[in-house]
Amino acid sequence: MPDQTVSVYDRRRMTSPPRAPRSTYLIFGSPQIGEAEIAEVVDSLRSGWVGTGPKVARFEQMLEDYVGVPHVRALGSCSMALMLALRVLGIGPGDEVIVPAMTFVATVNAVEHTGARAVLVDCEPGTGLLDLDAAGAAITPRTAALVAVHLSGRPIDMDRLNAIRDRHGIAIVEDAAHALGARWRGRPIGGHGNITAFSFYVTKNITTIEGGALATTDAAVAERVERLAMHGLSAGAWERFSDAGHRHYDVVEPGFKCNMTDVQAALGLHQLPMLDAWIDRRAELWQGYDERLADLPLRTPLAPATGTRHARHLYTVELADDAPCSRDELLRALHESRVGAGVHYRGVHLHPYYRDRYGLAPERFPVATSISQRTLSLPLGSQLGDGDLDDVAAALRRALAG
C-alpha cells in the first residue's frame, strides 16, 4: 500500500523517468492571439482607418464597462498613462511622490519626468507590495501623490490605501499594469476612486502589442488626458477627418503623441472578452506549479488574500536560503533547458541613475533588495499545457539538484 503521506504528484515523480529538455523553447510571456484578432486587424488595414478611430472608441467603452468607471482613455502605453496621470494632477517641481522601490522603472520614470522628487519606500515581505505603514511614515508636507503598484496582479489593500489618501489629502495613482481583472472586495481594480493606469503590452494578460489605458471617474481628467495624448489639440484625428466633415482644431496646451491606434484596439476588442476565462486558466496553472514545486528549495507565491481576486499575471518564486545556486545561475540553467524566465524586478534603488541621484543604499530597502537578488518569474499564460508545467518543473529540479 502506498504511503498516504506522499502526494500523488510525488509518487508519480518518484516512479516516472526524468523528463528530457524541451525540443522547442518555451517563451516567457508569449501572447495568445487568435484568428478573430487577426481578422479584426486585417479589417482595420482594409478599412483605410488605421489611426485612432472608431475601434479605439469601442475598446474604451468595453473597458469602461469591464472596470466599472465612466471614463477610460486608451493610450500608447501604460507608461504614458502614468505620466499623463501625474501631469493632470499638477505634480511638478517642489513636490514629492511616494513610489515603491520594487516596481518596473516606468513607474518612477513617470515621476522623474514631472520634475518632482521620487521618494522610494520598501515593500512587504512575501507579496512585494508597497509597505503601506512605511509609505504613511514617509509622507511630508511636500508629498503630493503616492503611486501604488498592484505587483504581479495581486491587489494592494485598497481600504488602507484610500485611508492614507483621505487622511493626508494626497492624490493616489494606481499602477495596474499587471492587474486588469483583479478585484478588491468584489470591485475591480480601477474602480476605487483613483486614477488608474493599465498596460496591454505584449506580455500582459491581454495585449494590443503596445498600449495602455487610463481610467478615471472625473470627466475633466479624461478630457484633458485625451487632449494631451494628441499634441494638445482640441479635436482628435477621428473628429477632424471622420465623415462628419472637416473640423479645425486649436492647440490649447502643449501635449504629446501617445494615442492608441485602431490596429492596436482591434486586438483588444477580442482579447478583453476572454480575460476572465484566461485568468481562471492561469489560476489552474498557478495551482499546478504549487503542486509540482512543493518539494524544491523555492518559496512559491502566497495565496491571494481573502476577498480579493488576483489577476495571476506573474508566478514568481524566491530561492530558499538552502538553494544550491544563485538566482542568475538558475536563470542560465533554465535557458539551457530551453525554458524562458523573467526577473520582476531589480529594485529601482539598484539602478545607477536612481541610486546615484538620490544616494540610495541597498540596505535601506532590505525586502526589495532581497527580492531583486532571489526571485524569478516562471512562464505563465492561458495557452500553456500541463506538459509545459512538467517541463519547467523538471528543468528546475535538474538545476536545483545540488
- Structure confidence at residue 2 (pLDDT): 39
**Structural contact between residues 177 and 197, judged by C-beta atoms closer than 8 angstroms:** yes
Which residues does the annotation mark as catalytic? 204
Q: What is the pLDDT, as a whole number, of residue 21?
A: 79
Residue 195's CATH number: 3.40.640.10
**Residue 358 cell numbers, joined:** 538620490
Average of per-residue pLDDT across 21-26: 91
**Same domain (yes/no): 295, 262:** no
Residues 333 and 257 in one domain: no
Q: Does one domain contain both 197 and 291?
A: no
Confidence band, pLDDT 50/70/90 cuts, at residue 234: confident
* pLDDT above 70 for 244: no
Residues 262 and 380 in one domain: no
Same domain, 251 and 103: yes
Mean pLDDT within 86-104: 98
Indicate the length of the chain as a whole number: 402
Confidence bin at 300 (pLDDT 50/70/90): very high
Lowest mean pLDDT among 46-60, 79-93, 235-249, 312-326: 235-249
Cis peptide bond prior to 345, omega within 30° of 0: yes
CB neighbours of 81 closer than 8 A, spacing ≥ 6? 75, 197, 198, 212, 213, 214
Q: Given pLDDT bands bounded at 50, 70 and 90, which one contains residue 5?
A: very low
Number of domains in the chain: 2
Mean pLDDT of the chain: 93
Show the 3-state SS of 242-283. Answer: CCCCCCCCCECCCCCECECCHHHHHHHHHHHHHHHHHHHHHH
341 and 260: one domain? no
pTM of the entire predicted model: 0.93
Gap between the Cα atoms of 16 and 21, Å rounded? 15
Domain interval for residue 314: 275-399
Least confident of 85-94, 109-118, 228-237: 228-237
- Residues 251 and 348 both lie in one domain: no
What tens digit of pLDDT does each residue of 140-177 get? Answer: 999 999 999 999 999 999 999 999 999 999 999 999 99
Phi, psi at 376, each rounded to 5°: -150, 155
